[in-house]
């Protein structure tokens, strides 16, 4: 298969677009009450010419560029789509723009929740945009798509979503990518140009607030190095490397001048235990200074908050998380213990970041933190307009790799999903074309493409005779190899004679001195000739033989490069052929393309094949709304199963699930533990009580909201089955309660909570609202 040709992007003029051009020496550009920084003005100007990727440290104001671009597109009567990887960030931006433009102009789409679908500016998760593009939804009126946190293209589970969006998005739609950590931004931009997009890279390396990253061995923590525990065999673990171990006592050493602070830990249990222990040892707020917490907060969190200490992780309910976030923004919390998810999205005002360990469990193994991960967390330190410097401490014996090493480059996570194949009607050529436009293909081929191009250019100039040939005045390879070997031998002989002279002292043998002088002359002659090669020409016979050897070497290298270029495509094509074959066997595809079964299946984006097979097997027919709700919440949930928990599912459904789980073509993932806990909640429990022994309420909330999304997708796919859709609607009503209603972010103190003061370090809007 031939290599894809690069499309040349068309230049887009800046005339008449209303965009100002910033020139050196001019007054800074203004946006509202803000004077734009250099990189912000540069990015805004570049948007007049096409797409822009903005890479700038946390807290410098990247999202201000997105706000300007959105305002500009709206002024041109164009729709704007703003995507983000997490719902909390989507909700935050929705709340901000609703307050600015009114709810009628702003929409929210997060799968389980749709508000004002046709709004002029729509905030959504990136998966929603991907599903819209796969379904062929028109982008005719869309002028701008913002990809916040675009570095999620590197996410092992979800990165493919970003690639599909960037490949499928029409070129008339401007793209604005935002991130603090895209070390190979130039490569990402070259890939998008390769796809035909006219895109510029804008990089800002200077932070608005200087950041210093230290090991916890320095002041003010002065943490001592400890050695790892010995293994049961008596041998030291990890070669007895010295490590730093975080302890809550360390926070007592932290002066008030370093507060407020975030402390990152890598498990929910550690986050809560650290906060509770800290609250028993220290109080930052006077008794009664913060009170009025309602029953919506768990008692442990309430006790911590009353002392000016918080904790934050994905297992908390949305109301609990928003309460902690808002109190931190108001300056009422001095220390917040949190997991890594707090490093994504809104820039909360803290002066210091403490990273409690140098390794984490990533779902498969315990590994050292990446430089990119440390930078993402440490970047939260330092408040613009308030702090002259942000400080971060990492519990590591050697801070140098995290300070001196560049962050790891983003890597493609391209793969084929069943709904992608079905929307392409199982057409192998179209799906292969998708692969050949992917970031994976570009990354694997960029260097080899260049090497092959240079090799072919050299061969075209004079076949079989590279620049090193004697007929190009610089000696042939055969003589070059001989000269190099001869020079090496002369150096060895010279070294040996010098040793003899040293051993002889004041009376060296005369023949040794003569031979050494001769060697010095020979070495000088050989080394001073061009390339260290003889200048004599080869005979015609030798030249002909050399031509044959060079041709053979060229053909071997050319074939090797072609094989390397074809390898990723070959492997992915094998996986694609297998996936298409599996879908044909199950009746989703036939010789004409997608079948009626496949047309319904491609409207389901979560566990596509599993849910469709369950419907066509009859296992879903006859299920009660409660059983449908528990199944929808349990689909695609990967949790540690608890054997004694049983979901309220009938025997037929269990048997079909067991059969499909054993079929590799289905890829079934469903958790009976989640089904059981959701069933307990439906029958009268609360988020905090149902499954309290096995599941955090925030997780339960997430499974219920995703269950609503699954039920809505099933209703759309099988809309002609009125009886089934009716039961789906009743199941949604069971899951959609006041307790599980979406909680949108706000910037005020949560209702009912009374604060006797607002911290004096609360940032002024002119500085803090510049965005992340």
Position 351 pLDDT exceeds 90: yes
Reported confidence tier of residue 474, pLDDT bands at 50, 70, 90: very low
- Between residues 723 and 88, the one the model is more confident about: 723
Question: For the residues 714-720, what does the mean pLDDT come to?
Answer: 96
pLDDT given for residue 747 in this prediction: 42
Residue 61 pLDDT class (50, 70, 90 cuts): confident
Higher pLDDT, 320 or 757: 320
pLDDT at position 104 is 87
pLDDT band at 236 (very low <50, low <70, confident <90, very high): very low
Separation between Cα atoms, residue 772 and residue 768, nearest integer Å = 9
Which backbone phi and psi does 115 adopt, to 5 degrees?
A: -120, 120
Contact present, 672 and 645 (Cβ < 8 Å)? yes
Lowest mean pLDDT among 9-18, 218-227, 476-485, 704-713: 9-18
What is the pLDDT at residue 748?
Answer: 46
Question: 366-375, 556-565, 592-601, 650-659: lowest mean pLDDT where?
Answer: 556-565
pLDDT of residue 523: 78
Q: How many Å apart are CA 313 and CA 269, to the nearest integer?
A: 10
Query: Three-state DSSP class for 230?
Result: strand
DSSP code at position 472: G
User: In the prediction, which pLDDT does 289 show?
Assistant: 81
**pLDDT tens digits, 752-763:** 565 554 443 333
Inform me whether the pLDDT recorded for 318 exceeds 90.
Answer: no
Q: How far apart are CA 745 and CA 589, in angstroms?
A: 44
CA 210 to chain centre: 25
614-646: pLDDT as tens digits? 999 999 998 999 999 999 999 999 888 888 889
Burial class, 466, CB count within 10 angstroms (exposed 0-12 / middle 13-18 / buried 19+):
middle
What share of the chain has pLDDT > 70, as a percent? 78
Mean pLDDT of 147-162: 93
Please say whether the beta carbons of 135 and 169 come within 8 A. no
Where is pLDDT greater, at 447 or 357? 357
User: How is domain 30-203 classified at the architecture level of CATH?
Assistant: 3-Layer(aba) Sandwich (3.40)
Label residue 467 by pLDDT band (50, 70, 90): very low
Contacts of 185-190 spanning 24+ positions with Cβ under 8 A: 185/53, 185/55, 187/409, 187/442, 187/443, 187/446, 188/53, 188/153, 188/410, 188/439, 189/53, 190/442, 190/446
Asked if 359 and 367 count as a contact pair (C-beta separation under 8 A), the reply is yes
Q: Which of 48-52, 99-103, 170-174, 705-709 has the lowest mean pLDDT?
A: 99-103
> What single DSSP character describes residue 53?
E
One DSSP character per residue, 703-770 reads HHHHHHHHHHHHHHHTTT-HHHHHHHHHHHHHH--TTTS-----SSPPTT-EES---TTPPPHHHHTT
What stretch of H or E contains 212? strand 210-215
The rounded Cα 614 to chain-centroid distance in angstroms is 33
Mapped to the 3 state alphabet, what secondary structure does 20-38 carry? CCCCCCCCCCEECCEECCH
Residue 693 has pLDDT above 90, yes or no: no
Token pair listed for 682: 């439906």
* pLDDT (0 to 100) of residue 329: 87
d(CA 363, CA 274): 22
Q: Are 83 and 147 in contact (CB under 8 A)?
A: yes
* pLDDT-derived band at 505, boundaries 50, 70, 90: low
CB atoms within 10 A of CB 527: 11
Whether the Cβ atoms of residue 190 and residue 180 lie closer than 8 Å to each other: no
Bond into 37 cis (ω within 30): no
Work out the pLDDT band at 306, boundaries 50, 70, 90. Answer: very high
**β partners of residue 262:** 336, 353
Domain ranges (residues) in the chain? 30-203, 210-410, 454-552, 603-735
Strands annotated E in 554-697: 589-590, 593-594
Match domain 210-410 to its CATH number in 3.60.15.10, 3.40.640.10, 3.40.50.2300, 3.40.50.300. Answer: 3.40.50.300
Separation between Cα atoms, residue 259 and residue 331, nearest integer Å: 10
Query: CB of 215 within 8 A of CB of 394?
Result: yes
Residues in Cβ contact with 327 at an 8 Å cutoff, skipping those fewer than 6 apart? 290, 305, 310, 333, 749, 753
Domain 30-203 matches domain 210-410 at the CATH topology level? yes
Residues in the chain: 772
Q: List, for residues 76-118, the tens digit of each pLDDT value.
A: 899 999 999 988 888 888 888 888 888 888 999 987 888 888 8
Amino acid 752: pLDDT: 55
Going by pLDDT thresholds of 50, 70 and 90, the confidence category of residue 568 is: low
Label residue 228 by pLDDT band (50, 70, 90): very low
Place of tokens 């109301």: 319
Please report the beta strands in 614-706, taking only residues with DSSP state E, as ranges in sequence order. none
> Do 753 and 285 contact (CB within 8 A), yes or no?
no
Q: Which of 455-464, 495-504, 573-582 has the lowest mean pLDDT?
A: 455-464
- Cα–Cα distance, 35 to 120 (Å, whole number): 27
CA–CA separation, 367 and 341 (whole Å): 18
Question: In the 3-class helix/strand/coil scheme, how is 238-290 assigned residue by residue?
Answer: HHHCEECCCCCHHHHCCCHHHCCEEEECCCHHHHHHHHHHHHHHCCCCCCCCE
Whether the pLDDT of residue 172 is over 60: the answer is yes
Cα separation, 77 vs 83, in Å, equals 19
Contact 604, 713 (CB under 8 A): yes
**Better-predicted residue by pLDDT, 765 or 532:** 532
Residue 538 neighbours by CB under 8 Å, 6+ apart: 470, 476, 478, 479, 546
How far apart CA 547 and CA 469 sit, in angstroms, is 9
The pLDDT value recorded for residue 238 is 44
Q: What is the pLDDT of residues 293-303, one digit of tens each?
A: 777 788 899 99
pLDDT at residue 197 tops 80: yes
Phi then psi dihedrals of residue 14, to 5 deg: -100, 0
> What pLDDT is attached to residue 532?
43
276 is written with which tokens?
């509770």
Residue 580 makes CB contacts below 8 A (sequence gap 6+) with: 421, 426, 428, 431, 589
Mean pLDDT of 444-467: 59
**Mean per-residue pLDDT of the chain:** 81
Q: Enumerate the β-bridge partners of residue 200.
A: 52
Q: How far apart are CA 583 and CA 664, in angstroms?
A: 11
- CB distance 329 to 349 below 8 Å: yes
Helix (H) or strand (E) holding 501: helix 477-504
Angle between helices 672-682 and 625-634 (to 10 degrees): 140
Selected residue with higher pLDDT from 232 and 89: 89
**Token pair for 186:** 């130039």
- Residues 132-143 have pLDDT tens digits of 999 999 998 999
Across the range 571-596, mean pLDDT stands at 90
Could you read off the pLDDT of 34-55 as tens digits, one per residue? 778 889 989 999 998 899 999 9
Q: Which residue has the higher pLDDT, 732 or 61?
A: 732
pLDDT above 90 as % of the chain? 41
Query: What's the pLDDT at 764?
Result: 36
The angle subtended at Cα 261 by Cα 350 and Cα 278, nearest 5°, is 150
Q: Place 245 in a pLDDT band, splitting at 50, 70 and 90.
A: confident
Phi-psi region of 706 (alpha: psi -120 to 50; beta: other; left: phi over 0): alpha
DSSP summary character for residue 7: P
Banded pLDDT at 280 (limits 50, 70, 90) = very high
Q: What is the mean pLDDT of residues 530-548?
A: 61
Cα 46 to Cα 197: distance, rounded to the nearest angstrom: 13
| Integer Cα distance of 137 and 572 in angstroms | 27
Position with higher pLDDT, 32 vs 769: 32
Q: Which of 586, 574, 577, 578 is nearest to 659 (CA)?
A: 586
């Amino acid at each position: 298969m031939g290599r894809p040709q690069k499309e040349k992007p068309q230049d887009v003029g800046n005339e008449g677009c209303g965009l100002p051009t910033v020139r050196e020496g001019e007054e800074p550009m203004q946006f509202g009450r803000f004077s734009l920084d250099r990189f912000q003005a540069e990015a805004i100007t570049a948007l007049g010419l096409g797409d822009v990727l903005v890479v700038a440290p946390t807290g410098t104001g990247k999202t201000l560029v997105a706000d300007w671009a959105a305002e500009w597109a709206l002024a041109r009567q164009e729709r704007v789509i703003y995507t983000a990887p997490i719902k909390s960030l989507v909700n935050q931006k929705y709340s901000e723009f609703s307050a600015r433009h009114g709810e009628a102009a702003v929409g929210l789409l997060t799968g389980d929740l749709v508000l004002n679908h046709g709004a002029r500016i729509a905030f959504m998760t990136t998966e929603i945009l991907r599903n819209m593009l796969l379904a062929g939804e028109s982008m005719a009126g869309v002028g701008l798509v913002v990809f916040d946190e675009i570095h999620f293209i590197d996410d092992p589970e979800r990165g493919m979503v970003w690639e599909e969006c960037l490949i499928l998005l029409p070129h008339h739609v401007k793209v604005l990518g935002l991130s603090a950590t895209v070390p190979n931004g130039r490569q990402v931009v070259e890939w998008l140009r390769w796809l035909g997009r006219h895109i510029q890279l804008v990089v800002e390396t200077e932070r608005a607030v200087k950041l210093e990253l230290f090991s916890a061995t320095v002041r003010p923590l002065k943490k001592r190095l400890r050695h790892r525990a010995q293994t049961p065999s008596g041998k030291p673990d990890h070669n007895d490397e010295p490590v730093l171990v975080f302890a809550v006592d360390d926070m007592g050493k932290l002066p008030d001048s370093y507060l407020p602070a975030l402390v990152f830990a890598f498990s929910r249990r550690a986050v809560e235990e650290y906060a509770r222990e800290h609250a028993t040892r220290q109080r930052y707020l006077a008794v009664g200074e913060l009170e009025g917490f309602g029953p919506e907060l768990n008692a442990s969190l309430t006790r911590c908050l009353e002392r000016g200490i918080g904790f934050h992780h994905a297992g908390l309910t949305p109301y609990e998380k928003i309460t902690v976030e808002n109190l931190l923004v108001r300056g009422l919390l001095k220390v917040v213990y949190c997991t890594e998810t707090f490093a994504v999205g809104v820039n909360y005002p803290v002066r210091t970041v403490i990273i409690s360990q140098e390794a984490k469990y990533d779902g498969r193994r315990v590994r050292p933190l990446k430089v990119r991960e440390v930078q993402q967390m440490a970047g939260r330190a330092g408040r613009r307009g308030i702090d002259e410097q942000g400080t971060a401490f990492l519990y590591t014996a050697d801070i140098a790799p995290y300070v001196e090493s560049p962050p790891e480059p983003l890597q493609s996570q391209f793969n084929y999903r069943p709904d992608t194949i079905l929307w392409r009607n199982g057409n192998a050529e179209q799906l292969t074309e998708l692969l050949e436009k992917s970031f994976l293909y570009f990354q694997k081929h960029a260097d080899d493409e260049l090497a092959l191009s240079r090799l072919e250019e050299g061969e075209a100039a004079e076949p079989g005779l590279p620049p090193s040939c004697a007929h190009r005045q610089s000696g042939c390879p055969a003589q070059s190899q001989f000269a190099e070997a001869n020079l090496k031998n002369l150096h060895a002989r010279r070294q040996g004679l010098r040793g003899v002279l040293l051993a002889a002292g004041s009376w060296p043998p005369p023949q040794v001195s003569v031979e050494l002088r001769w060697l010095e002359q020979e070495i000088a002659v050989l080394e001073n000739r061009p390339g260290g090669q003889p200048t004599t020409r080869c005979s015609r016979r030798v030249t002909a033989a050399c031509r044959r050897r060079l041709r053979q070497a060229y053909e071997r290298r050319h074939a090797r490069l072609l094989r390397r270029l074809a390898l990723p495509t070959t492997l992915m094509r094998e996986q694609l052929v297998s996936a298409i074959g599996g879908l044909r066997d199950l009746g989703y595809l036939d010789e004409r393309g997608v079948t009626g079964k496949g047309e319904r299946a491609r409207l389901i984006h979560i566990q596509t094949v599993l849910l469709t097979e369950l419907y066509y097997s009859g296992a879903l027919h006859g299920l009660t709304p409660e059983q449908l709700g528990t199944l929808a919440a349990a689909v695609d949930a990967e949790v540690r199963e608890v054997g004694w928990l049983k979901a309220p599912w009938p025997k037929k459904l269990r048997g079909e699930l067991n059969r499909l789980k054993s079929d590799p073509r289905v890829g079934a993932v469903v958790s009976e533990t989640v089904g059981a806990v959701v069933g307990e909640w439906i029958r009268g429990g609360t988020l905090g009580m149902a499954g309290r022994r096995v599941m955090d309420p925030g997780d339960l909330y997430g499974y219920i909201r995703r269950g609503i999304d699954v039920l809505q997708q099933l209703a759309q796919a099988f809309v002609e089955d009125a009886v089934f859709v009716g039961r789906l609607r009743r199941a949604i009503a069971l899951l959609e309660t006041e307790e599980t209603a979406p909680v949108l972010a706000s910037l005020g103190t949560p209702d009912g909570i009374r604060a006797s003061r607002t911290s004096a370090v609360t940032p002024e809007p002119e500085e803090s609202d510049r965005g992340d």
